Structure 1
């Protein structure tokens, strides 16, 4: 057979990174006798063999050459069904019973007569339905409960209004937009008619943004339409940030409002080889021939070295202190895995590190079902079970306690049952009757003893209160200013303020006042970059001092000076000295020459052990980084947390027969504020929302005054208090509530914000940072019916990976253009590695979730630059198909020509004018 691709050789020279393609050398025997049963023809692709010899086989095609049956390297078969017109109507990942679909994971698609997706039915029966107007534009999304999102469109197809309604038709969420004659967004309005205005320069670049309080942000661009300057709060704070680029549009310098420069240097391949930061000093990087980061040398002159397998998966990180080395193994089934948990090929199976090891087991659908963590010789096993749709149905904790999740018809958690790991234990209901806002967050639930907990929202889907009306429960309302900042705490449903909050023009918290008297309680000031300059309380004022050449806090009031190492880690705060390991993590706490506490981390960056001469504590986390439990030096449970998605709702305290279930009541951000003893129905722990805003106040560990204290170290989302240091451990960093900032610079640099020490943009009432990397705001999620875009990039196994959403492509488009869409996303992968190389090192390993940890570009101009390069790559790929006669049918030629036309005439203009991805097919 001539002209068929046999082998591709990757960029690596240190290993054989070939991908081999094998084709059927003759027709299936049935083709000549029973054409309807013909499985393949001569020349059809049969096998794809990767560099490690793992084989994917295409076992059956239909008469149009579409793959019907594919078997992966784990011998798992996926079947595809098509409509007579070629539309994909079902994907079936086969279970262990070949004679039945009962254990298959089946996703079905329904279409209207012209091929628009009408319904997507998930494996558990939940579905999303779509409606279109006569111009074939999406106008409505329904779930199987009858909730609806309706889009009002203008003549150009832009969404001028979005309404979310429940099954009765009641309006639950709304927003509106106004566009100018050029189709550019002019005004965006909230449900309460608070406008944000946008203007544009002559080239279509976003110029001035004016918020609902009249505050302006002015953007300026260079002659190549690259963002050159941003001025925040024009005429007020005037916080100026400037950007410089090289001839290839690569960001080379960011100058912050303090006039400090962060610079970037690149090699000839576009890889970032140097970062110079006022806070972390000079870091240098080298790469292998495939663009994988090979070495990283920080400002302390400590080098970490990375190794990769032939598939470019990281296999090792080596440090000068070899006891810190991390190893990653794939594909092999650990001995701890039981039957049905042995599908390891292509997946992370073992991490070895300074703490010990972690082993992973997977079911046939690629979902992690068992994790066995060995820390200092103690073994902690966590097991997961899932619904057919891949949602968590039960979690077994290291002590054997089990949490079971019941779900409603939309796949959302409706009830949580618990069972302790002691003889004779019975099932206890933690919560039930959970309800949800349409296409939004939970609206509340009933705890097992009858307490109710409500989380109402307004028409902007902001949480307006958290309400437990029973004695001792968390019950507080929230008021908002015109730009959405929480400006007061109220009794639920009332307007009179218990506490008021003030903000500056950059939305940083500046004041707390007593509501009834308007008496000042706390006041904060900041410089333009977000460094706290002062705090004033009833006990007096404290000023903060910083050097002129960095954002490192060197002194807070009369406290002792703070000192740092060359990488910007705090090594001395008062009497506490912090020793950082070669990995850049705080490993020892000392006071003078006395060792107070030692900290140990695993290969994912989680602090899994801390110990003193008298106490040894071990910690286990979920795969999304949530704290699951703390255990003593014998491995016995001290406490275990129970989660409802990303909200902590329950706590087991104690071990064995002494273990007791408690209810956690989280606030609007997910911070625990109350712990309830369900038997006595009283609060046994509380952390008042009206206390110091940045968390610098202790919780009440005995609010019922019975003389028995409950110690719970959970603080803001993702944080746990460390009594040894007085800091809050926040996954990748340590947070100092006293100064309201981190004691280490952000590991992802400016990707987390201009001030690499600031916590949540100094807005702790309205935002949080659950992993110590970047600020998050608890906003309503995208509607589950809104599919992922056509393509994106995300973190998988510690590396940036491309993702193409086949559901966005018709089956013939998969055949004709998918490879070019992949090339587009690979271009983004290169840019992501260039701009923030190693970003995925700070994401948890998420081998059971796909895709998770989507990677984005900051600032916006870098995203537009990356899109321009990616579409140029895709155009080259598509054009090559036409030039080289690769398209073997008129249909394929038309598909390629249509995609080229869309890119040139529709997509690239939106990139040029800065409105991308609005109006782009596949992204609406």
Structure 2
């Protein structure tokens, strides 16, 4: 008897049927949509496998793709051929190629936009990234891999200094030095950018003076403080450029309000049980169906049978139309004002689903852009005669700096200054002058741009705003900051949460750089580790350890339970000890070991009862900095799952 999923009927009646070969590998996906008039269109995807079960071909309405591997099962190439329908959507022929060293590390990535080269140190830390134009981004480390410097062809972009817990405390940014302080949970407590040179700040720090006292000095053009509640939610920020902002939350961690001290900038929110945003109007409850919001404030929405937003009407004058390929990727967008075309966008993607080109037309002006990627991070943005190179904080999608080149003018370096979750708030030049500054509403819409000498399009981590639509491109989906949700359903389905359009419970502590499951998202062990969960640098953590379930005789040692409730964690929150955790706090596994030891248990010794075991594992999550609301929800799911296995009704 197999426990493989054969059919999925979603809350909006969209049906997905899965077929497998004798080896248990997916070979066919049949989808049956459900339209506004109950129409049921179908589409089909075929997956061809070799004798080892590896995917060698993927065929759908728009394209056929073939995959080649080396003897070590490493991907060597992806080739794409568009169908007639695909060509009409702008899809082109393409080949991506990869090369590896003897240790299996990626050394070369060949794309239609050029070749990226990778070099590593003996610990497999990336030391040199060679760009298609020959420039080299160099990474210098200390210890086991803590970044100490970034330079471009020897020109220092940024030097970093870290404390005894290896947390970044200083960062040079041109003539400014940014300083960071942390609370006991490793969360950012304050930051400032100072005109004092780094060596002076380091001397002050080493004398034992409380560096946080320097935050509000006049020679700091940028400074802010952060305050959190016992559940780990951000409740207050103090910002030199933005003043004081307070936040309140629902019991489940959803953002309830943002208070700026004025009626104009303050916001309040309410939600239904599936986290859909609602107006403060009881009739709104009648308008939310199947998580496909039809109306919110002065906006009206229409969807295609696959759940993709195809029309958005704002007020009486503005109308937007959206067109998608058969993999739900936005390929065309049009904005009409009073019936006249104001703007249009055309978008192209590579075989990995990354957007590699766009053409935008606004009031008759046409702009062409191409994008180069390093993995799933946008590395370069290119327009005729100009390009922008983006550099990021290590292991993050939070931008650190960008290097602009204009033909005939050389290059300029600009530095990002972000908030506690990596959203850009300011951009400074090499002289420390603010050239771009933004204030946002809660869900990422720009409230104001007091300074905009330089165009800056990055928003929440992993997001890029398209001025022709006002939407944020979010790697695998598009995000609408006006309503705080995605235009299309989550590619990973229920593993991203019960609401396929939801961004996050709150935008003050959560990020979703790829439009998939985000940090602290709840799902199942099988789903969060499955093929649909495209590489997002997150790992599934079970609250009920599989070995405990075996000990309780409700599971077998040989087979992990795919349905075991789990939470998506990054390495810091999951497996790292305080010495390697960038927050200096330690992950859930480390804290779990400490708690077990304090109770006389070994690392792999388990408590005799469900209650005591859950107290240990949930306590470890809280100590690792996971929000209390997430731990509580996961604990409820784990209890329910255990009872379904054991047939018990008690705990």
Q: TM-score, normalised by structure 2?
A: 0.63
1:428 aligned residue = 134
* Conserved? CA contact 1:562–1:570, under 8 Å: no
The one of 326, 337, 357 equivalent to 1:630 is 357
Residue 484 in structure 1 maps to residue 210 in structure 2: no
Gaps of 5+ in 1: 1-10, 12-289, 333-343, 420-426, 778-799, 801-830, 847-851, 877-903, 919-924
How far, CA to CA, are the matches of 1:906 and 1:542 in structure 2?
48
1:776 aligned residue = 519
- CA deviation map 1:101-127 (0-9, x unaligned): xxxxxxxxxxxxxxxxxxxxxxxxxxx
How far, CA to CA, are the matches of 1:369 and 1:702 in structure 2?
46
- TM-fit CA distance, 1:631: 4.3
2:459 aligned residue = 715
* Conserved? CA contact 1:455–1:465, under 8 Å: yes
1:391 aligned residue = 105
* Conserved? CA contact 1:326–1:351, under 8 Å: no
How far, CA to CA, are the matches of 1:717 and 1:608 in structure 2?
20
Residue 671 in structure 1 maps to residue 394 in structure 2: no
The one of 542, 551, 569 equivalent to 2:275 is 551
Alignment coverage as a number of residue pairs:
497
* Conserved? CA contact 1:544–1:556, under 8 Å: no
Structure 2 CA distance for partners of 1:349 and 1:750, relative to 1, 3 Å: closer
- TM-fit CA distance, 1:746: 7.2
2:7 aligned residue = 295
- TM-fit CA distance, 1:554: 0.8
* 1:107-506 equivalences in 2 (<5 Å): 290-321=2-33, 325-331=43-49, 345-353=52-60, 355-374=62-81, 376-377=86-87, 378-399=92-113, 401-419=114-132, 427-432=133-138, 434-448=139-153, 450-469=155-174, 476-491=178-193, 493=201, 495=212, 496-497=214-215, 498-506=223-231
How far, CA to CA, are the matches of 2:466 and 2:285 in structure 1?
19
How far, CA to CA, are the matches of 2:71 and 2:450 in structure 1?
46
How far, CA to CA, are the matches of 2:168 and 2:161 in structure 1?
6
* Conserved? CA contact 1:676–1:683, under 8 Å: yes
The one of 630, 641, 646 equivalent to 2:372 is 641
* 1:717-736 equivalences in 2 (<5 Å): 717-723=461-467, 726-731=470-475, 735-736=479-480
Structure 2 CA distance for partners of 1:303 and 1:910, relative to 1, 3 Å: same
- TM-fit CA distance, 1:653: 0.6
* Conserved? CA contact 2:550–2:556, under 8 Å: no
Give the 3-state SS of the residue equivalent to 2:56 in structure 1. strand
* Conserved? CA contact 1:630–1:639, under 8 Å: yes
How far, CA to CA, are the matches of 1:620 and 1:745 in structure 2?
18
* Conserved? CA contact 1:357–1:374, under 8 Å: yes
2:572 aligned residue = none
- CA deviation map 1:736-757 (0-9, x unaligned): 5456666789787996689998
How far, CA to CA, are the matches of 1:667 and 1:513 in structure 2?
24
- TM-fit CA distance, 1:446: 0.6
Deviates more, 1:487-496 or 1:543-552: 543-552
* Conserved? CA contact 1:355–1:608, under 8 Å: no
Residue 620 in structure 1 maps to residue 332 in structure 2: no
1:843 aligned residue = 533
How far, CA to CA, are the matches of 1:594 and 1:310 in structure 2?
53
Q: TM-score, normalised by structure 1?
A: 0.46
* Conserved? CA contact 2:308–2:489, under 8 Å: no
2:574 aligned residue = none
Structure 2 CA distance for partners of 1:299 and 1:661, relative to 1, 3 Å: closer
- TM-fit CA distance, 1:639: 2.2
Give the 3-state SS of the residue equivalent to 1:873 in structure 2. coil
Over alpha carbons, which structure has the higher Rg? Answer: 1
- CA deviation map 1:242-270 (0-9, x unaligned): xxxxxxxxxxxxxxxxxxxxxxxxxxxxx
Residue 697 in structure 1 maps to residue 442 in structure 2: no
* Conserved? CA contact 1:507–1:763, under 8 Å: no
Gaps of 5+ in 2: 34-39, 195-200, 202-210, 216-222, 335-340, 361-366, 417-423, 427-436, 560-600, 620-651
Give the 3-state SS of the residue equivalent to 1:456 in structure 2. strand
How far, CA to CA, are the matches of 1:698 and 1:373 in structure 2?
41
Give the 3-state SS of the residue equivalent to 2:124 in structure 1. coil
- TM-fit CA distance, 1:508: 1.8
1:784 aligned residue = none
The one of 311, 320, 343 equivalent to 1:596 is 320
- TM-fit CA distance, 1:388: 1.8
| Aligned residues: CA RMSD | 4.6
